[in-house]
Amino acid sequence: MTLEILNLSKEFPVPGQPPIQALSGITLTVGDKEFVSVLGPSGCGKTTLLRIVAGLETATSGSITLDGESIDRRSSQMAMIFQEYSLYPWRTIIDNVTFGLEMQNIEERPAREVALEYLHLVGLDEFANRYPYELSGGMRQRVAVARAMAIEPRILLMDEPFGALDAQTRNMLQKELLEIWEKTRKTVLFVTHSVDEAVYLSDRIVVLTARPGRIRKIVDSSLERPRNRTSPEFARIRRCVLDLINESGQPKEDLIVHPPSL
């Protein structure tokens, strides 16, 4: 499986003014089972790029292909996880997870069996009949992961999924996400503001410039897993990414660099 983004650009029209150019000339290849993170200055188009890949936005120019086939609309081969959880409060946890399967016209019994399998994978099968308001923020995000995984996409798109969580919960969910990824080996394209998170999770880190977002550099983060956030090599990669972002126009105070987990 190969996801190819070729010379992708995006402009947003503004009445009576020149258009705002969000992205310019993005070319990126994401390989099978690869975990790739996208970082960059605030407003550089990270989320816009992810939404175009997901088929939620259209590019002004350029192309996206999956195994050579054009992707220009929403595809069942991709699932997106947002920062806000996006769970339906009137549905139980298991009914939230089966929602995507229902949209694919899968019979109720198999859908519930699949949902329970993925709830078990994220450690929430005993909460299947609860409602979202009864779960913590971290648990609700794990439900969102289970819902996305249940439709068995080839690519998981994640837009700052842990951005609203406290540092301790965020570190815990990063570890759990890697455990799920190692079991399922889905291809992941992950947007984050956190340098530490990107280095901890990723095989490669795509650093974008300030708007219009262009690829400044792709940083290899292929440290042996599980990764030690306090190791000299981890610190070296984190410093490299921080320097690239600062050179791209991001104020230091806007960067999220979580303290190491001891």
Question: Residue 32 in 3-state DSSP?
Answer: coil
pLDDT on residue 58: 93
90 phi, psi to nearest 5 deg: -90, -5
Give the residue among 228, 160, 231, 226 at the shortest CA–CA distance from 194.
Answer: 160
pLDDT on residue 262: 33
pTM of the model: 0.89
pLDDT on residue 107: 63
In order of their start, the domains of the chain are: 3-77+153-253 (3.40.50.300)
Whether the CB-CB separation of 173 and 142 falls below 8 Å is answered with yes
pLDDT on residue 249: 56
Of the pLDDT bands very low, low, confident and very high (cuts 50, 70, 90), residue 251 is very low
pLDDT on residue 109: 61
- Of 7-21, 84-98, 101-115, 218-232, the one with minimum mean pLDDT is 101-115
pLDDT on residue 163: 86
Whether the CB-CB separation of 144 and 161 falls below 8 Å is answered with yes
- The percentage of the chain sitting over the pLDDT mark of 70, rounded to a whole number, equals 92
> What average pLDDT is seen over the chain?
88
Q: Determine the average pLDDT of the residues in 223-230.
A: 92
The beta strands (E) that lie in 127-214 are given as: 155-159, 187-191, 204-208
| pLDDT at 70 > cutoff 80 | yes
The model's pLDDT over 23-41, given as tens digits with 9 standing for 90+, comes to 999 999 999 999 999 999 9
pLDDT on residue 253: 37
The model's pLDDT over 153-203, given as tens digits with 9 standing for 90+, comes to 999 999 999 888 888 989 999 999 999 999 889 999 999 999 999 999 999
pLDDT on residue 119: 94
pLDDT on residue 103: 78
> Using CA atoms, how far apart are residues 168 and 176, in angstroms rounded to an integer?
13
The model's pLDDT over 75-126, given as tens digits with 9 standing for 90+, comes to 778 999 988 778 999 999 999 999 888 877 666 568 888 899 999 999 999 9
Of the pLDDT bands very low, low, confident and very high (cuts 50, 70, 90), residue 261 is very low
Return all residues near 237 (Cβ < 8 A) that are at least 6 apart: 199, 219, 221, 223
